[in-house]
Amino acid sequence: MSRRSPPYGLVLAVGSVCFLAGAFLVPRDLFVGTLLAKEHASPRSVSERAHPLTGHELGTIALFEQVSPSVVFIMTSHRKPGDGLAGGTVFDAAPIEGSPMDGPLDEFEWDSGSGFVWDDRGHVVTNYHVVRDAVDLTVRLPDLSDWPGRLVGIDEDKDLAVLHVEAPAALLNPIVVGRSAPLRVGQRAYSIGNPFGLSSTLTEGIISAVGRTIRSGTGAGRIIQDVIQTDAAINPGNSGGPLLDSAGRLIGVTTAMVSDAGGSAGIGFAIPVDTVNRIVPDLINHGRPRRAGLGVRVQTEVDRRIDGVMIAYVLPGSAAERSGLRGSMNPETLRFGLGDVITGIEGRPVRTFDDLYGLLDTHRPGDRVDVTYRRKGKLHTTTIDLQVLPPEGREEEEGAGETP
What's the CATH number where 89 sits?
Answer: 2.40.10.10
At residue 41, the pLDDT reads 54
Active site residues: 129, 159, 239
Last residue of a domain, one of 143, 171, 199: 171
Inside any domain, residue 239: yes
Would you say 101 and 135 are in contact if contact means Cβ atoms under 8 Å apart? yes
339 and 380 part of one domain: yes
Inside any domain, residue 243: yes
202 and 264 part of one domain: yes
Whether 69 shows a pLDDT value over 70: the answer reads: yes
Whether 4 shows a pLDDT value over 60: the answer reads: no
369 and 307 part of one domain: yes
Q: What is the 3-state secondary structure (H, E, C) of the chain?
A: CCCCCCCCCCCEEECCEEEECCEEECCHHHHHHHHHHHHCCCCCCCCCCCCCCCHHHHHHHHHHHHHHHHEEEEEEEEECCCCCCCCCCCCCCCCCCCCCCCCCHHHEEEEEEEEEECCCCCEEEECHHHHCCCCEEEEECCCCCEEECEEEEEEHHHCEEEEECCCCHHHCCCCCECCCCCCCCCCEEEEEECHHHCCCEEEEEEEEEEEEEEECCCCCCCEEEEEEEECCCCCCCCCCCEEECCCCCEEEEEEEECCCCCCCCCCEEEEEHHHHHHHHHHHHHHCCCCCEECCEEECCCCCCCCCCEEEEEECCCCHHHHHCCCCCECCCCCCECCCCEEEEECCEECCCHHHHHHHHCCCCCCCEEEEEEEECCEEEEEEEECEECCHHHHCCCCCCCECC
Mean pLDDT in residue range 206-211: 97
At residue 187, the pLDDT reads 97
Would you say 236 and 196 are in contact if contact means Cβ atoms under 8 Å apart? yes
Higher pLDDT, 285 or 2: 285
Whole-number Å distance between alpha carbons of 97 and 99: 6
Inside any domain, residue 60: no
At residue 59, the pLDDT reads 95
- What is the CATH classification number for the domain harbouring 377? 2.30.42.10
Last residue of a domain, one of 244, 264, 286: 286
74 and 166 part of one domain: yes
301 and 247 part of one domain: no
Inside any domain, residue 296: yes
236 and 164 part of one domain: no
Would you say 196 and 270 are in contact if contact means Cβ atoms under 8 Å apart? no
pLDDT digit string (tens) for 83-99?
433 333 333 333 333 44
146 and 117 part of one domain: yes
Whether 38 shows a pLDDT value over 60: the answer reads: no
Whether 33 shows a pLDDT value over 80: the answer reads: no
Inside any domain, residue 34: no
Average pLDDT, the chain: 81
pLDDT digit string (tens) for 355-396?
999 999 999 999 999 999 999 889 999 999 999 987 654 444
Domain membership of residue 162 as a residue range: 70-171
95 and 153 part of one domain: yes
At 73, the amino acid letter reads: F
Q: How many CA atoms lie within 13 A of 48 on its CB side?
A: 0
Number of domains in the chain: 3
In Å, how far are 130, 152, 169 from 162, measured between CA atoms?
11, 5, 17
268 and 341 part of one domain: no
Inside any domain, residue 94: yes
Inside any domain, residue 41: no
Mean pLDDT in residue range 134-140: 94
- Is the Cα dihedral 388, 390, 394, 398 positive or negative? negative
Whole-number Å distance between alpha carbons of 301 and 382: 25
202 and 271 part of one domain: yes
At residue 365, the pLDDT reads 93
306 and 355 part of one domain: yes
pLDDT digit string (tens) for 257-280?
876 666 667 799 999 999 999 999
pLDDT digit string (tens) for 306-326?
789 999 989 999 999 999 999
Inside any domain, residue 307: yes
270 and 313 part of one domain: no
Higher pLDDT, 102 or 388: 388
Last residue of a domain, one of 171, 200, 216: 171
Whether 67 shows a pLDDT value over 90: the answer reads: yes
